[in-house]
Amino acid sequence: AGVFTYDPGFTSTASCDSSITYIDGEEGILLHRGYPIGDLAEKSHFLEVCYLLLYGELPTAAQMEDFECRVTNHTMVHEQMHRFFTGFRRDAHPMAIMVGVVGAMSAFYHDSIDINDPWQREVATIRLIAKMPTLAAMAYKYTIGQPFVYPRNDLDYAANFLRMCFSVPAEEYEVNPILSRAMDRIFTLHADHEQNASTSTVRLASSSGANPFACIAAGIACLWGPAHGGANQACLEMLREIGTVDRIPEFIARAKDKNDPFRLMGFGHRVYKNFDPRAKVMKQSADEVLELLGVENNPTLQVAKELEKAALADPYFAEKKLFPNVDFYSGIILEAMGFPTSMFTPIFALSRTIGWISQWKEMIEDPAMKIGRPRQLYTGANAREYRNVEDRG
Residue pair 219/201 in contact (Cβ under 8 Å)? The answer is: yes
For residues 269-298, which are near ligand CMC according to CB under 6 A? Answer: 269-270
CA-closest candidate to residue 78, choices 134, 24, 158: 134
Minimum distance of ligand CMC from residue 12's CB (angstroms): 12
Whether 269 is a known active-site residue: answer: yes
| CB-nearer residue toward ligand CMC: 78 or 321 | 321
Q: How far is the CB of 293 from ligand CMC (least distance, A)?
A: 25
Decide if residue 41 touches ligand CMC (CB under 6 A).
Answer: no
Measured from the CB of residue 260, what is the shortest distance to ligand CMC in angstroms?
10
**Cβ(214)–Cβ(380) under 8 Å?**
no
Interaction with ligand CMC in 9-28: which residues (CB under 6 A)?
9
Provide the strand spans (E) within the chain. Answer: 21-24, 29-32, 35-36
Query: Does residue number 332 form part of the binding site for ligand CMC (CB under 6 A)?
Result: no
Nearest alpha-carbon partner for 239 in 322, 328, 312:
328
| Cα 288 to Cα 294: distance, rounded to the nearest angstrom | 10
Q: Is 156 a catalytic residue?
A: no
Q: Which of 322, 337, 347, 349 binds ligand CMC (CB under 6 A)?
A: 322
Q: Which residues, at least 6 apart from 106, have a Cβ–Cβ distance to it below 8 Å?
A: 113, 211, 213, 214
Which of 69, 144, 178, 227 touches ligand CMC by CB under 6 A? 227
- Phi and psi dihedrals of 24, rounded to 5? -115, 100
Distance between CA atoms of residues 148 and 135, nearest Å: 10
* Of the candidate residues 16, 53, 162, 255, the single one contacting ligand CMC (CB under 6 A): 255
Q: Which amino acid is at 49?
A: V
Beta bridge partners of 31: 22, 36
Question: Beta strand 35-36 with 29-32: parallel, antiparallel or unpaired?
Answer: antiparallel
Q: What DSSP designation does 313 have?
A: T
| 268 near ligand CMC (CB under 6 A) | yes
Q: Which stretch binds ligand CMC (CB under 6 A): 102-110, 175-183, 285-293, 318-326?
A: 318-326
> Would you count residue 327 as binding ligand CMC (CB under 6 A)?
yes
**Segment near ligand CMC (CB under 6 A); pick from 12-20, 32-40, 258-266, 356-364:** 258-266
Q: Is 102 in the site for ligand CMC (CB under 6 A)?
A: no
Instruction: Kindly list the catalytic residues.
Output: 269, 327
Question: Which residues contribute to the site for ligand CMC (CB under 6 A)?
Answer: 9, 196, 227-229, 231, 255, 263-270, 320, 322, 325-327
